Amino acid sequence: KAGVTQTPRYLIKTRGQQVTLSCSPISGHRSVSWYQQTPGQGLQFLFEYFSETQRNKGNFPGRFSGRQFSNSRSEMNVSTLELGDSALYLCASSLQGSLSYEQYFGPGTRLTVT
Amino acid sequence: GENVEQHPSTLSVQEGDSAVIKCTYSDSASNYFPWYKQELGKGPQLIIDIRSNVGEKKDQRIAVTLNKTAKHFSLHITETQPEDSAVYFCAASLAGNQFYFGTGTSLTVIP
How do residues B30-49 score in pLDDT, each as one tens digit?
A: 999 999 999 998 999 999 99
What mean pLDDT comes out for the span B57-79?
97
State the nearest Cα–Cα gap between B49 and chain A, in angstroms: 8
Within an 8 Å CB–CB cutoff, is residue A101 touching chain B? yes
Closest chain A residue to B3 measured between Cα atoms?
Answer: A44
- The pLDDT, as a whole number, for residue A21 is 98
How many beta-carbon pairs below 8 A join chains A and B?
Answer: 56
Residues ≥6 apart with Cβ < 8 Å to B43:
A4, A90, A105, A106, A107, A108
Q: What is the pLDDT of residues A2-42, one digit of tens each?
A: 899 999 999 999 999 999 999 999 999 999 999 999 988 88
Q: Please list the residues that pair with B56 across neighbouring strands.
A: B65
In the DSSP assignment, the letter for residue A88 is: E
Q: What is the phi-psi region of residue A96: left when phi exceeds 0, alpha when psi lies from -120 to 50, beta otherwise?
A: left
Within an 8 Å CB–CB cutoff, is residue A56 touching chain B? yes
Q: Does the structure show a pLDDT above 70 at A98?
A: no
**Nearest-CB residue to B95 (from A33, A43, A101):** A101
Q: Which long-range contacts (CB under 8 A, 24 or more apart) does A50-59 make?
A: A50/A96, A55/A31, A55/B97, A56/B97, A56/B98, A58/B98
